[in-house]
Chains A and B, each alone.
Chain A
Amino acid sequence: MTYFPEEVVEHIFDFVGSHRDRNTVSTVCKAWYQVERLSRRTVFVGNCYAIGPERVMARFPGINSLSVKGKPHFADFNLVPYDWGGFALPWIVAAARLCPGLEELRLKRMVVTDDGLELLARSFPNFKSLVLISCEGFSTDGLAAIATYCRGLRELDLQENEVEDHGCQWLSFFPDSCTSLVSLNFGCLKGEVNGGALERLVARCPNLRSLKLSPAVSVESLNKILARASHLVDLGTGSFAVDHRTDVYHTLMNSFPKFKSLRNLSGFWDASPCCLRAVYPVCTSLTVLNLSYAPAIQGDDLIKIICLCFKLQKLWVLDSIGDKGLAVVASTCKELQELRVFPCDIYGAGTTSVTEEGLLAVSSGCPKLNSLLYFCYQMTNAALITVAKNCPHFTRFRLCILDPGKPDPVTNQPLDEGFGAIVRSCKNIRRLSLSGRLTDQVFLYIGMYAERLEMLSIAFAGDSDKGMIYVLNGCKNLRKLEIRDCPFGDIALLKNVAKYETMRSLWMSSCDVTLGGCKALAAKMPRLNVEIINENEETYEFEENLSDRHKLEKIYVYRTVAGPRNDAPDFVWTL
């Protein structure tokens, strides 16, 4: 291969798509490294502190697509303090200087500021796509800058961000000449929306295929938009509640039949059952349906709509669907691949919710099921064993039993055997979240069988250090391990320190690791950042006086070539 001219090698590399394959290819020899780095177009950085932005861009000067992730996953559940880090600005600044051809930027769990957005908007003449997921720190002013300066913008996708509302006019900042939008998602915005500007924007973008509105967009506005956007493939409705005796309602009822290409439906904020009828005409072609923000739609109405969705591949619902509703899913949605069932009532007793029966039904009725997120109040080993037999293709299996540490209610046993069956049967499982009463035994099973496992989330489980050690010694492909409230301490932490360099990160909170243990880890492994997050104001003033036996509330360990970060707040110590 080294005798081929570079152009040929490069052409061959064009067929090598995935990041991992390209990374592998680049390690073969210097020549290949060079060809690969100059021809690389997309870079994915899973941990923004694993490497500095300048280094990435110096190695890959030709990239036009960058994806960066910031905070650890448990930040989604308020376990990471607000100003821990994950700042996007250094990446935007470096790209502005070193990769002016940037076209796509995707940021997840990062702090993005209005200044950053403005710099982004002004620095990249070919910029086409901005995707922000679970980010915070910016306002509608930043969005106005994007709208103003990004000529030729194709995609603006804002998913579940915390966006400060500085007024509704940002949509008006898209110039009249902007006709290139293909995808616009602002479902997470809380403030008012300028309906007229939105309608005009939609009307002048003939390529618009994906549109997701925020709850502030009224049905009246939706009607006007739908009248202009009949080529939509993906729609997130805004507010979906209106009095059934009004003209607006009648228009809504007649708006959907003409949509021949509509495949994804979501939104449905505050949807009322009578409004939901409007979408019946398109149900038979839907592949994705998200009703998880519509608490007013109860079991029977959910069943009415699901009965029609026989092509459904992805379904997100609230647990008000009940086991009965899940049985209907099982008998109707034979193409189903992904199911997510969220709890309606987080703190309640869970009277109308789902149990192991619902999951059993879906597992036996939906042979293509490979991705599950299931919140329930109880689960049995027997059910999990049957689910494992029915669905050996799970790649993602996340079960959350709402009562931490709850055993099998029938046998009063821990759920070790159930989850053990899942990992034994599902050879391709990549992501697993455990819950319920679990002993060290389940971790023995995971270590033994979950060869492809990449991400494991553990809470309120295990008996001793052995549990964590089984996992660290076993799961060859483990990349992310996050643990909370488990009795794992220094012995487990230090048993297999080399493992952490093969992983992206380790999170442990409310466990038994001590300051001494972490110091030892940091000393042995200089290429790891061992971060201690100490929110207890009393102790962090007396850092030097803390004994090595002091138990640490939160630690975050990750491999890095960038050394300790220079933007850490006071309460984060890197050992």
Chain B
Amino acid sequence: MEAAGESLRDTELRLGLPGTDAPEKPASTVTRGGKRALPEDDEEGYAKSNKSSSEEEQGEGDLCCQEPPAAKAQVVGWPPIRSYRKNSLHARKVEGEAAGLYVKVSMDGAPYLRKIDLKVYKGYKELREALDDMFKCFSLGEFPRKEGCSGSEYAITYEDKDGDLMLVGDVPWEMFISSCRRLRIMKGSEARGLGSRH
């Protein structure tokens, strides 16, 4: 019973360097920097140090001491970067993610959808070629090479940030990839009505 308990304790997630006992008291909250005294017999001699709990994950190959990464983010005001800068970079990152660089591609009539990363293409030409490649197995006809859908069976359309259905090719590429949420390859008959909202 005791042996089982001990081995269980070894694998227990706790805050402390390897080989030390867990403290009696619960760890103080992370928001206060999570300070707590390490036990006296600490081999590194940091016995009297108060350290933040997020610092416990020294990453010396000891998994049972690792804190969930989220704890790092909770230390208020750390790292010391001006909120202005944090917000600037973060906003741009989020914008990049929300704009959907990986977008779903559906094709009318195809049994399943695909997903592509818009960032890997330099422009519309490469995109069309890639889609052609991806969907040719469905042998559903030739893809429009030119912008617009005159004379071809299919039109490549996309849903933008505002939820509108747009024809691919009208706006500069950079603008397109920042606003495209998903792609839809439409059958010619429906596509011809593009211009007025369905």
- List residues of A whose CB falls within 8 A of some B CB: 74, 76-79, 134, 160, 162, 188, 241-243, 245-246, 269-270, 272, 292-293, 295, 342-344, 346-347, 375, 400, 402-407, 412, 433, 437, 439, 457, 459-460, 462-464, 484-487, 510, 553
Contact = CB atoms under 8 A, between A and B. Distances in A.
Nearest to B54: A404
B60 to A, nearest CB: 8
Q: What 4 A-B pairs come out closest when comparing CB atoms?
A: A77-B77, A485-B33, A243-B172, A405-B55
A412 B33 CA distance: 22
Given A241-B174, A242-B174, A406-B55, A487 B78 contact: no
A460 B82 contact: no
Q: Specify which of B32, B54, B88 lies most central, judged by the most chain A CB atoms within 10 Å of its CB.
A: B88
B110 interface: no
Binding site of B, secondary structure by majority: helix, strand, loop or mixed? loop
A77 B174 contact: no
Q: Specify which of B35, B48, B79 lies most central, judged by the most chain A CB atoms within 10 Å of its CB.
A: B79
Contacts of A484: 33, 77
B73 interface: yes
B83 A463 contact: no
B86 interface: yes
Given A77-B81, A460-B51, A510-B32, 16 more contacts: A77-B82, A78-B83, A79-B76, A295-B93, A342-B81, A343-B79, A346-B79, A375-B79, A403-B55, A404-B55, A433-B80, A459-B78, A460-B55, A463-B46, A485-B35, A485-B50
A464 B48 contact: yes
A320 to B, nearest CB: 11
B44 interface: yes
Interface in B64-85: 69, 72-73, 75-85
B49 interface: yes
A486 B48 CA distance: 11
A135 to B, nearest CB: 11
A102 B9 CA distance: 70
Contact of B77 (A79, A134, A407): A79
A406 B46 CA distance: 12
Binding site of A, secondary structure by majority: helix, strand, loop or mixed? loop
Contacts of A439: 46, 49
B150 to A, nearest CB: 22
Nearest to B124: A245
B77 A245 contact: no
Contact of B52 (A78, A243, A272, A404): A404
B18 interface: no
Contacts, number: 110
17 contacts: A76-B82, A79-B76, A134-B82, A241-B174, A243-B174, A245-B172, A342-B85, A400-B79, A400-B80, A404-B52, A405-B49, A439-B46, A463-B48, A485-B33, A487-B48, A487-B49, A487-B50
Given A404-B75, A406-B58, A295 B92 contact: yes
Interface string B113-155: 0000000000100000000000000000000000000000000
A78 B72 CA distance: 16
B35 A510 contact: yes
Contact of A405 (B51, B79, B83, B88): B51
B13 interface: no
B56 to A, nearest CB: 9
B162 to A, nearest CB: 17
Nearest to A188: B84
A193 B128 CA distance: 35
A274 to B, nearest CB: 10
Contacts of B51: 404-405, 460
A295 B89 contact: yes
B173 A245 contact: yes
A355 to B, nearest CB: 15
A343 B35 CA distance: 25
Nearest to A462: B49
Contacts of A375: 79, 81
Nearest to B75: A404
Contact of B83 (A76, A407, A460, A464): A76
B175 interface: yes
A433 B81 CA distance: 13
